[in-house]
Amino acid sequence: MSTDWKPPIGALNARTAFMRFGLGPKPGGAARMGNASTSALNACLRELNITSAVPIRDPKLPNYATACANELILGGAFDKRLDEVEARIAKQLEPEVGFVERLVLFWSNHFSLFHGKEQIIRVTAGQMERDVIRRHVLGKFPDMLVAVMRHPAMLYYLDNTRSIGPNSAWTQPGKDINENLAREILELHTVGVDAGYTRQDIRELSRILTGWTKRPARDPQLGRPGQYFFQQSMHEPGTFTVMGKSYSQPGEAKGIAVLRDLALHRKTAEHIARKLVLHFVSEAGPEDPVVTRMVTRLADVFTATGGDLRAVARALVQMPEAWSMPMNRLRQPYLWTVSVMRALGLDKAAFETVADVPKLDSYLMVMNNHPWGRVQPDGYSDKNFVWETPNAIRIRKQIAYLLVTDFIKGDWTGPNAAVLANSLLPNAVSPEAISAVARVSQDKAALAMLFMTPEFLRR
């Protein structure tokens, strides 16, 4: 960043709100936010209180039963996924800041799925995000954890549908444990790899979770194709110990109990606090005292509130450090793509009119940030090196221009790009960037230049 130019604090706070905690500014958004020193923080906090804005209510999208039944459709499963991508992006054009939408994306990535693995995931991943992640995004973490683990997408993705207790009542062939889900619950979803659990803990947890499965796609006697159910006859009977606590409840209750305990484990609080700080603020490690202080603060709030995710989110934006750490990382391609649309002033209706969703989706794939497209269950990385490779910058430059030309049919009738820059991030774009944008003669190319400025790329 240039050394001699510094934006005023109100402007910097607005940029931080939009780029670090939100989905990018809409034209005039900063003016609507106000430029008092607390305006940006208040805009973020306000969104945490509008619970009614969180769900996606669209009768065209499948409910749980319909989505699961779509496991049976022949052809069109890719389109079902694209419908969900479209609905998600349309929703994300609405809020002024988009802080809650960022939390939805964070938790969806925490419980990452890979749609390419199997049709049941392809047709339900978006529904899981709408009905499970969104439902609990401002609720309690234990509820979110249990609900995710009772969803067929996750159970199938991490192979728990095939995990059958060796001593269960199951009479068909194929009785054996599959450890995949149990391992990733401990390592990725709850306590984290440093928590001190052993291979034995993984094995015991995997036994507890036997019977957590989905209904077969085709079984007229069972009905409810594809949906979650607890299959007692697959369940391994017995008492099992996970991280020092033993569980002897009957059937499904044992799994719910262990998940609720894991969800509120102190190591889980720390793991999630670390991930939130990494995602939203800084990738510095525990050697950075500011980061350590933030992690401890968030973990304390998580613990004190029983994993209340609204309280944790509020604590995150209320920490002054969250607003002062340098904006030195690249915004991930998905966030940046949505913010380009927002900056162009697209609303839901305009997006649905002009969007070529398959094409847009393919841009996200090429930028390695495809919704529900991460193969490994650790979710998309928050590490900068993943997103700032030479190739990634080169491709992003191309896509900046393509997004502009895709979304502006005919001539650009809005303000020229330099004027737009000041409407989006007043006093927060460097004079060098404004002048680089102003020097591009063609309107659409100038907009592409604006979206490639450091102020628009970094968070």
Partner 1 sequence: MSDHHHDQEPIAPRVLDAAAEGCEEARLLINRRLFLGMSATLGAWAFAPRIVRAADPGDEPRLLVVVLRGGMDGLSVMAPTRDLAQYEKARGTVAVDVSRFLDLDGEFGLNPLMPKFHATYRRGDAALVHAIAPPLCDGSHFDSQLNLEAGVEGRASVDADGWMNKLLLNLPAGSPISGRPGLELGPAPFIISGEAPIHSWYPFDFGRIDGGSQLRAFDAGLRDLYGKTDPRLLRNLDLGLQSDSNARQTIRSSDNLSTMTALQKVFLGAGRLLAAKDGPRIAALSIDGWDSHAGQHALLSTRLKILDDALDDFRVAMGPAWSRTVVACVTEFGRTVAGNGRAFDGSAGTDHGKGTVALLTGGAVAGNQLHGEFPGLTNLDEGRHLKVTTDIRQMFKGILLDHLGVSERILGTEVFAESTHIRPMKGLIA
Q: Which residues bind partner 1 (CB under 8 A)?
A: 1-2, 78, 114, 116-119, 158-159, 162, 172-180, 183, 187, 193, 199, 202, 283, 285, 358-359, 361-363, 365-366, 368, 375-376, 378, 383, 385-386, 388-395, 397-399, 401-402, 430, 432-433, 436, 439-440, 442, 445, 448-449, 452-454, 457
Q: Which residue has the tokens 């599959």?
A: 178
Residue 88 and residue 56 in contact, taking contact as beta carbons nearer than 8 Å? yes
CB of 241 to partner 1, least distance (A): 18
Q: Taking the complex as a whole, how short is the minimal distance between the CB of residue 231 and partner 1, in angstroms?
A: 16
The residue assigned the tokens 């940030």 is 369
Nearer to partner 1, 173 or 410 (CB): 173
Q: Which of 228, 229, 159 is nearest to 377 (CA)?
A: 159
Tell me the backbone φ, ψ of residue 57, rounded to 5 degrees: -105, 100
| Cβ closest to partner 1, residue 177 vs residue 243 | 177
User: 45 vs 290, which CB is nearer to partner 1?
Assistant: 290
3-state class (DSSP) for residue 319: coil
Residues forming beta bridges with residue 213, ordered by sequence position: 229
CA distance 14 to 162: 49
CB-nearer residue toward partner 1: 254 or 374: 374
> Measured from the CB of residue 455, what is the shortest distance to partner 1 in angstroms?
9
Question: DSSP readout, 374-398?
Answer: -SSTT-S---HHHH--HHHHHHHHH
DSSP at 281: T
How far apart are CB 45 and partner 1 at their closest, in Å? Answer: 31
Minimal distance, residue 392 CB to partner 1, in Å:
7
Ramachandran quadrant class, 282 (left: phi over 0; alpha: psi -120 to 50; beta: rest): beta
Exposure string over 416-447, b if 16+ CB within 10 A, otherwise e? ebbebbebbbbebbbeebbebbbebeebbbbb
Which positions ≥6 away from 167 have C-beta within 8 Å? Answer: 236, 237, 238
Looking at the Cβ atoms of 7 and 139, the one nearer to partner 1 is 7
Taking the complex as a whole, how short is the minimal distance between the CB of residue 365 and partner 1, in angstroms? 6
Residue 439 CB, nearest approach to partner 1 (Å)? 6
Gyration radius of the chain over CA positions = 23
Q: CB of residue 383 vs partner 1: minimum separation in angstroms?
A: 5
Beta bridge partners of 214: 228
Tell me how far, at minimum, the Cβ of 353 lies from partner 1, in Å.
Answer: 18
Angle at 42 between CA 40 and CA 47, to 5 degrees: 105
Closest contact distance (angstroms) between CB of 155 and partner 1 is 12
Identify whether the C-beta of residue 293 lies closer than 8 Å to the C-beta of residue 274.
no
As a whole number of angstroms, the distance between CA 421 and CA 424 comes to 5
What distances in angstroms separate CA 117 from CA 88, 95, 121, 374, one per listed residue?
Answer: 21, 33, 7, 10
Q: Which is nearer to partner 1, 343 or 433 (CB)?
A: 433
Q: Which is nearer to partner 1, 290 or 445 (CB)?
A: 445
Our CB check for partner 1 shows the closer of 300 and 388 to be 388
Output DSSP code: residue 236: P
Please say which residue, 56 or 386, places its beta carbon nearer to partner 1: 386
Smallest CA-to-CA distance from 94 within 36, 50, 132, 34 is with 50
Question: Based on CB atoms, which residue is closest to partner 1, 45 or 402?
Answer: 402
Rounded Cα–Cα distance for residues 54 and 50 (Å): 7
